[in-house]
Structure 1
Amino acid sequence: MPEPMLVTIAASLATRAVAGLYELVRAKFADDPVAAAALTAAEGAAPDSPQVAALSETLERTVLADPAFGAELRAHHAVTQTGRVTNSITGTVSGNAVQAGDIQGGITFK
């Protein structure tokens, strides 16, 4: 079973919620008809659909075969709540970070 992040990425790809991420994967899959078909089949599919599951498995195989692509994929990944907020943290983070949709009131770090 693919790692949870790859499943989340596959769901983001299915909705094209993160355009740069979609283009990265589409370009990587361009020379692989089976992988490209998995990407196409997942378009518009629900996050828990068999098509998104198949895409996440395809991503896992691709990442295992090409760790540099895996690093690039993770660097482009963003957590997305469709229509609400897109958060992205890349690189080394030292200090506090919050990824959230709606926050009522303040946030305090201790």
Structure 2
Amino acid sequence: MTATAPSTSEDGTVTASNTTYSIAVRTSAVENAETAAFVFVQLIDEAGNKTDRMKLKCSLTHRKKYQRGHSDLFLLVDQPYLGRLKQIEVMHVVKDSMYDTILGFP
């Protein structure tokens, strides 16, 4: 995940601004790893500041997101700049009970 830091003026004043976060989601290559669930994220920094809960809508890399073995890139635009991130909450709403979501972290 990446984000652009707020700007600093010539007098040293930090201007809080909105930013764009990019989030990459890798779906496992194991059988039945794909999902049709709605996936949401919320970013939280070390001070406890957080973004709204955001739905990962349109993958920039694949027309059909969360497919087995694919990496999907999402942009979260016009979000408040947070400091150093402490936590990323991932939530999903399953459209069909046959879909389970398994999260893995490197």
Higher-RCO chain (CA-CA 8 Å, sequence separation at least 6):
2
The structure having more radius of gyration, on CA atoms, is 2
Structure number having the greater helix percentage: 1
Structure number having the greater strand percentage: 2
Q: Normalising by the residue count of structure 2, what TM-score does the alignment of the two structures yield?
A: 0.26
